[in-house]
Structure 1
Amino acid sequence: MIRYLLDTNICIYLALGQPPQVIRRLNACYSSEVAISSITLAELEHGALKYQRMAQLEIILQRLQVLSFDAQAARAFAQIAMHSTRQRSAMDKLIAAHALSIDATLVTNNEADFAGYPVRVENWATPAD
């Protein structure tokens, strides 16, 4: 069962191997508990092409499942878009909707981008106290 859906910035941290707390949190999970959305994959593919980092992307993809954005996620997107009062990134809305549709916690270092959406959010990049 997927418990965590990783946002693009967390995947970038994984590719860079830092900050260490992100790596530790991922390593503490079973591989069946963590995934990325196909929407996140699209953002990662774009960045990898733009900055010529395809090898780093392949490292990420070896460790993470990629979930297809399906009809259930599309319905969740409609719900989020209807109740969104601020102009926000469509990609962020799609990723939030995907997490909502599978009842997963969205892991991001951009918590403010998802504030007000009906989705659980965790920040693995914040150092433990």
Structure 2
Amino acid sequence: MPQPAVERKLCAINIFLDDTRPCPPGFILAKTAQECISLLKSGKVNKLSLDYNLGIGKPTGYKAVKYILDNRICVRSIVIHSSDRKGRKKMFDALQKHKVYGTWITIKPIAKRRF
């Protein structure tokens, strides 16, 4: 007797892109733009929280934004938490102009910790 087909449900993930801030509960940490892109490729993304500056001489969070736009990746909610005002604006403007229908984009800067 044949086995019934099992529907595989993909769980949506939450990604937190940042090289210095602690990752909030319920998110997967990506410390580089490339790590973020790898996670975006892996499946369904519910929430994405973006930092702009990811270390001196390293690609910025804008690289992840560009990947999302170039590949028409659907993310339900994008929060830009970068404290870099110009970087925030660059990412927000690009996402807002070319976003996939149904994507919610907000800006909520998180201050970097000073030790």
TM-score normalised by length of structure 1: 0.33
Structure showing the higher strand proportion among its residues: 2
TM-score normalised by length of structure 2: 0.36
Structure (1 or 2) with the larger CA radius of gyration: 2
Structure showing the higher helix proportion among its residues: 1
